[in-house]
Amino acid sequence: MRTPLRYSRVVRSVTAAVLLLATAPARGEQVKETYPLYGSLLEITVESEDRETGQNRIRDAVAVAHRLETQFSLDAEDSVLARLNANAGQGSLKVPLDLFRLLALSQLMTRSTGGAFDVTVGPLLRRRQAAAGDRGPRFNVSEALILVGADKVVLHPPENAELADAGMSVDFGAIAKGYTLERMAATLRASGVVKALLEFADTTVLAVGPPPGEAPFRVRVTHGKSTAGSVALRDRSLSTSRARRRGEDSAYPPIVDPRSGRFVDADRQATVVARHAAIAEAWSTALVVDPDGALGLLEEPRDVEALVFDEHGEHRSPRFAEFSGWKAGRPGAEPAEPAAQESPPATDAERHQ
């Protein structure tokens, strides 16, 4: 067993970028656009019969994404999630269906990961930020932990939710991005798209298609400045989370263990391939928090497989190579420039319910 380490969170690593390799020639025209979303850049590539149709399909999907961002993001004080947090301890609040479903999925992922993933870590993140200030109060882990726990989120179907205790707060983080990608993919599919790729900042990839008869998307995974290998995606998603030791320069938010309140203080990277983007996001976070425990849980088949790099080396879940089509890269190889991107599969979060 490993000694628990102090945790500092990094949701996504640009240096651990996921780079696309060439696939089979496209039969239609590739249309690619980039949009800001959740404080990051989302690149969308679809195969369409013509450019105008492709652009319209992309923009319809982006409209869905922007609607969800106004619900899930904490950057805006008037977001639906911000209002739910402000209402903590004051009873139930009517929320949009997507927010209700994401809360339900988050609870499921807390149970599935043994508590290593939990969106109610808001008090830990908030108090740590306050303690970091020159005049901020001392960070009291015990006080913050009292307010953490997915079981404290009470759902009243079909559209009411409450945070049981005053001071609680939900911070969806990356799982909101995964859910949003799934809803966008569902919109693309409904419009007739059979081949598309959605990618957040080189760390989260969702593949729509390719259809039968075409080669899957071959996506390169890097570790640091080296190529670790590549995976094959067909109607699947990939998520990479990374943490670094405290004191090292990092532009990413911290990852915290919801069970202990400790922040990750180790160089760790987890790449997950799963059928659903939101589930991949939750597991990649859990694997950075607790590599031993989360990998142990993945010994049971879940349509989720993982590759983990930590202070002890490289580790894989039992079916990772077969499930992901893994091909090991050349040790020390420098990451190549991203190749022309193709389309990823859209998964609808409703299928998690």
What value does the mean pLDDT take over residues 38-52?
96
264 against 131, higher pLDDT: 264
| Residues 66-79: tens digit of each pLDDT | 999 999 999 888 89
pTM for this entry: 0.84
99-125 pLDDT, tens digit per residue, is: 999 999 999 999 999 999 999 999 999
What mean pLDDT value characterizes the chain?
Answer: 85
What is the band of 135 on the pLDDT scale with cuts at 50, 70, 90?
A: very low
pLDDT tier for residue 27 given thresholds of 50, 70 and 90: low
Nearest residue to 146 via CA among 128, 172, 116, 120? 120
Cis peptide leading into 335, omega within 30 of 0? no
CB 80 within 8 A of CB 155: no
Write down the pLDDT at residue 137.
54
DSSP 18: E
Q: Name the nearest CA neighbour of 8 among 272, 280, 343, 248.
A: 248
pLDDT higher for 273 or 220? 273
Query: How high is the pLDDT of residue 129?
Result: 63
Question: Per-residue confidence at 330, pLDDT binned at 50, 70, 90?
Answer: low
Report, in angstroms and rounded to the nearest whole number, the Rg of the chain calculated over CA atoms: 20
Residue 105 confidence (pLDDT): 98
Query: Quick check: 250 pLDDT over 80?
Result: no
Task: Tell me what the mean pLDDT of segment 197-201 comes to.
Answer: 90
Measured CA to CA, the distance from residue 238 to residue 142 in angstroms comes to: 35
Greater confidence (345 vs 252) lies with: 252
Provide the percentage of residues in the chain whose pLDDT is more than 90.
71
Buried b (16+ CB within 10 A) or exposed e, 289-314: bbbebbbebbeeeeebbbbbbbeeee
How confident is the model at residue 248, as a pLDDT?
61
